Structure 1
Amino acid sequence: MLLFWVSLVMPMAGALEFQYHNTTQVEQYLQEINKNYPSITHLHSIGQSVEAVAVNVSGLPKDSCNPIFRTDPVVGRVLLLQLIDYMTRNYMSDPFITQLMKTTRIHIMPSMNPDGFESSGRDCMYSQGRFNKNGVDLNRNFPDVFVNNDVEVREIEVKAVMKWLETEPFVLSANLHGGALVASYAYDNSNGGSELQGGSSITPDDDVFVQLAKTYSFNHASMQHENKCSDSREFTDGIINGYGWYKLEGGMQDYNYVWAQCLEITLEVSCCKFPPESELPDLWDANKPALLAYMQQVHLGVKGQVFDLNGAPVQNALVEVEGRKNFCPFKTNSNGEYYRLLLPGTYTITVRHPEYEPLTETVSVPYGPDTFSALTHNFRFLNSASTTATNTTCLLPDVNYSDVLLPDTLTALSTFILYTLLL
């Protein structure tokens, strides 16, 4: 049966066919790709869904920028499977793909909600697929910095993603949906504070978010032309501030930005939530350049390490850019690494840690994506702190992860990772 499926979906030396693959087929496909390309792919589980479907991801070298794509049913699953297929088949033959994969760890989760996919109907606009088996919309179930989260019940799929985000230094992310044609960016919510400006909820990194959204829309076949779906508004340049479109509480892109220091946008890639399979090739052709260009944006800005007086990496050092006061300051990971997406320009950056005197330096940031490398700038503390201080980090919401179990077998909601030996 497996051999028949492989021959049907992955003909010899051919591309993945354009069709809707169920959860079992997705697992089989990813395992086959991992088997065929073991040196540049990896696959493992980060948790499970309500119906015990595995959420799979991989571990990679720890010294590169880390973009991630996630999707909800249905059309995003098709695009991300095609993306995996395209990149693995073109590695070492296409110069752009080769360079991107040699400089970037790319995590791809074809479906965050496999239970929803299995229950979805093939209706263009109204689908059950956005809800998991418990009837919860996962993209409204994340902690929200603008509301009280003390008694919120987190779904098991959401907790699996939250736990995963704590373990990987993700820099750039996107989640894919259907029902409109627009790139939407944070914030999705507001409590009427200073972030609320002219009907939009503006982040300290609004200029970067606009750049990211426009990168997608202007590399898409039609998104930037303000085409509107029959039941949707027009979007200037094919982008919109999330709150300026409609208020959304508990969204994943706000959570990623605030607590995981990962800039994420939401991509609405099709007016129809479940387009006919005959339209899938055109859908891929329209989105392929945009997906690739967006991933390349992970090389915006500046990256580096923070070291102590003896040259050892410092974990949890705050890295603050003057004029960009985030709810949760960006900080270094376990290897003392930091990543900060910034547009070209001159920036003053201060690093802080309770054991050392703050260190401030000014850097000139070039446009990194063209060379597939952000500016590398390391910091080394010069003096120990004269008094004991408290590091004002922003704590993640308290979540019990005990039910985020790893199944013994992969039964596929799968997060897949492409990688190579890094330059």
Structure 2
Amino acid sequence: MSSSLLFLLLLFVPTLMLEFRYHSNSEIEQYLFQVSAANPDITHLYSIGKSVKGQQLWVLALGLSPRHHTVGVPEFKYVANMHGNEVLGRVLLLQLIGELVRGYRDEEAWSLQLLNSTRIHILPTMNPDGFDEADTHCLFSRGRFNYNGVDLNRGFPDAFAGLRKQQQLNEEQREAEVRAVIGWLKSETFVLSANLHGGAVVASYPYDNSDRGFDLTGAASVTPDDDVFVHLAKVYSYNHASMHRGDLCDDSGPFRDGITNGYHWYPLEGGMQDYNYVWAQCLELTLELSCCKFPQPNELPALWMDNKKALLAYIQQIHLGVKGRVFDGSGSPAQNAVVEVEGRSNMCPFRTNKHGEYYRLLLPGNYTFKVTYAGHDVLTETLSVPYGPDQYSAMKHDFMLRRTASTTVQAPAELNPTCNYTLPPKGGGATSGSAWTGLTVGFGLVTVLQLLID
């Protein structure tokens, strides 16, 4: 068969009609290649690194500018299969990719609005090695861990574990998959995220851990943005077919409104959602989506329909609150400026990225912002924030700083010592502030043919 014919066959394969079954890691890889090759204007496939056994951790980005960040366009991510034997998320995210692309091609308003306003990153499997070892038992844990026998959702730096312990656990001691995600978080300004699990049906929100101090309210470990997290969790649970009932599984719950504070449910150290929030200023939920960790294949179509509306509605919540840029006294974007909201004392203050951008998810209301940047007067402004998701855009507001007239330089807000913890990525992650060093895929004819040959 000629190379040109192979290329044409690939393009005419119905990429969006994916069977409802459990696809192998290689089949997922081929599907992602195929979707990206057929839709290069709105998709971009890249790898954030490799698993312990060397399998690529593929991410598909979708949006009007899928290859790079656009100022003012927030970054969203979904991650699935962190525990190798919790497999429904793999299926749901592949179906979601197909639905987003199909909706965009058919010019359906919801898909056009989402992809025009958001850059969406989808990692269908964070633990491909664990999936290869998993059995189909509903509750047993074979395949939960990575190839080294480590639970990846206990392997991230933990703000409550103490700075000394974080420093002792150096880069090489963290699992390859954890290092890859940490590098990923350093490479993009993610604003909102969810991590898909199984074994219960509930939306869990931070914190997952506690120092049994300031953060505790009753049995919950409460973040400064607890109101936003509760709202986000309810958005998912009430857009889900039945999660909001809170009593779907015999061995877990009941959960009021189908949501729970993670620590209140059960404490865990080294969780990914706490790391996202504390160090990457990205609000993340853990979505438990099936009573059985490995649902029967014949249940998959119904489970997709149960979650489809919720998965889309949750992405839309990235447009809560306020977004904008901070400019210094000369009119240049101010990188690393501290943007704080009165009454929300974050463990690690939210700071602007290299473009001077900030994103702050907030419910409608009046908020006082304080912006601090070295060599400039502290700027305080009160903003009236509307509800943005219906318009697919958070409120836009730029802060214009003025150089200090005094001889005393105004320093940025003091950091909690925990925030000084840094973990330079290795192997597949991108170095903070540098160009992406992971594997990025170009889709010329040679690449397409290589895929078919492999």
TM-score (normalizing by structure 2): 0.86
More displaced stretch, 84-93 vs 178-187: 84-93
> Given the superposition, is the C-alpha separation of residues 408 and 317 from structure 1 closer, same or farther in structure 2, using an over 3 Å criterion?
closer
Is 1:317 aligned to 2:337, yes or no? yes
**Could you tell me which residue of structure 2 aligns to residue 398 of structure 1?**
422
- Structural mapping, 1:104-253, within 5 Å: 104-148=118-162, 149-152=166-169, 153-253=173-273
> Given the superposition, is the C-alpha separation of residues 375 and 409 from structure 1 closer, same or farther in structure 2, using an over 3 Å criterion?
closer
Q: Which of 314, 327, 330 is residue 350 of structure 2 equivalent to? A: 330
Paired residue secondary structure (1:264)? strand
Does the aligned pair in 2 maintain the 1:15–1:86 contact within 8 Å?
no
Does the aligned pair in 2 maintain the 1:300–1:368 contact within 8 Å?
yes
Deviation of the 1:389 alpha carbon: 4.3
**1-structure distance, mates of 2:9, 2:234:** 39
Q: Which of 90, 104, 110 is residue 103 of structure 2 equivalent to? A: 90
Paired residue secondary structure (2:318)? helix
**1-structure distance, mates of 2:109, 2:424:** 45
Paired residue secondary structure (1:316)? coil
- More contact order relative to length (CA 8 Å, sep ≥ 6): 1
**Could you tell me which residue of structure 2 aligns to residue 419 of structure 1?**
none
**Could you tell me which residue of structure 2 aligns to residue 71 of structure 1?**
80
**2-structure distance, mates of 1:207, 1:270:** 26
**2-structure distance, mates of 1:21, 1:137:** 23
**2-structure distance, mates of 1:358, 1:154:** 39
Paired residue secondary structure (1:356)? coil
Q: Which of 25, 28, 31 is residue 29 of structure 1 equivalent to? A: 31
One-letter code aligned to 1:140 = R
**2-structure distance, mates of 1:270, 1:227:** 12
Sequence identity of aligned pairs in percent?
56
**2-structure distance, mates of 1:253, 1:407:** 23
Does the aligned pair in 2 maintain the 1:54–1:407 contact within 8 Å?
no
Deviation of the 1:332 alpha carbon: 0.3
Deviation of the 1:154 alpha carbon: 1.1
More displaced stretch, 230-239 vs 380-389: 380-389
Does the aligned pair in 2 maintain the 1:143–1:255 contact within 8 Å?
yes
One-letter code aligned to 1:307 = F
**2-structure distance, mates of 1:407, 1:104:** 22
Quote the RMSD (CA, aligned, Å): 2.2
Paired residue secondary structure (2:343)? coil
1:355-376 C-alpha deviation (Å, 9 max, x unpaired): 2111000100000000000000
Q: Which of 101, 106, 110 is residue 115 of structure 2 equivalent to? A: 101
One-letter code aligned to 1:173 = S
1:104-136 C-alpha deviation (Å, 9 max, x unpaired): 000110011111111111111113232000000
Listed as ranges, the gaps of 5+ residues in structure 2 are 62-66, 430-436, 442-454
Q: Which of 362, 368, 381 is residue 342 of structure 1 equivalent to? A: 362
**1-structure distance, mates of 2:387, 2:120:** 20
Does the aligned pair in 1 maintain the 2:22–2:91 contact within 8 Å?
yes
**2-structure distance, mates of 1:237, 1:371:** 26
Deviation of the 1:97 alpha carbon: 1.1
**Could you tell me which residue of structure 1 aligns to residue 20 of structure 2?**
18
Deviation of the 1:388 alpha carbon: 2.9
**Could you tell me which residue of structure 2 aligns to residue 351 of structure 1?**
371
**Could you tell me which residue of structure 1 aligns to residue 451 of structure 2?**
none
**2-structure distance, mates of 1:190, 1:86:** 39
Deviation of the 1:67 alpha carbon: 1.1
> Given the superposition, is the C-alpha separation of residues 87 and 203 from structure 1 closer, same or farther in structure 2, using an over 3 Å criterion?
same
Listed as ranges, the gaps of 5+ residues in structure 1 are 411-423
Paired residue secondary structure (2:287)? strand
> Given the superposition, is the C-alpha separation of residues 311 and 32 from structure 1 closer, same or farther in structure 2, using an over 3 Å criterion?
same
**2-structure distance, mates of 1:211, 1:372:** 17
Is 1:54 aligned to 2:56, yes or no? yes
Deviation of the 1:230 alpha carbon: 1.7
Does the aligned pair in 2 maintain the 1:228–1:235 contact within 8 Å?
no
**1-structure distance, mates of 2:312, 2:356:** 29
- 4+ residue runs over 6 A deviation: 405-410
**2-structure distance, mates of 1:124, 1:116:** 16
More displaced stretch, 229-238 vs 384-393: 384-393
Paired residue secondary structure (1:129)? coil
> Given the superposition, is the C-alpha separation of residues 407 and 373 from structure 1 closer, same or farther in structure 2, using an over 3 Å criterion?
closer
Paired residue secondary structure (2:93)? helix
Give the number of aligned pairs.
407
1:297-325 C-alpha deviation (Å, 9 max, x unpaired): 00000000000112110000000000000
1:51-79 C-alpha deviation (Å, 9 max, x unpaired): 01112345423221111100124111110
Q: Which of 75, 94, 100 is residue 81 of structure 1 equivalent to? A: 94
**2-structure distance, mates of 1:7, 1:338:** 45
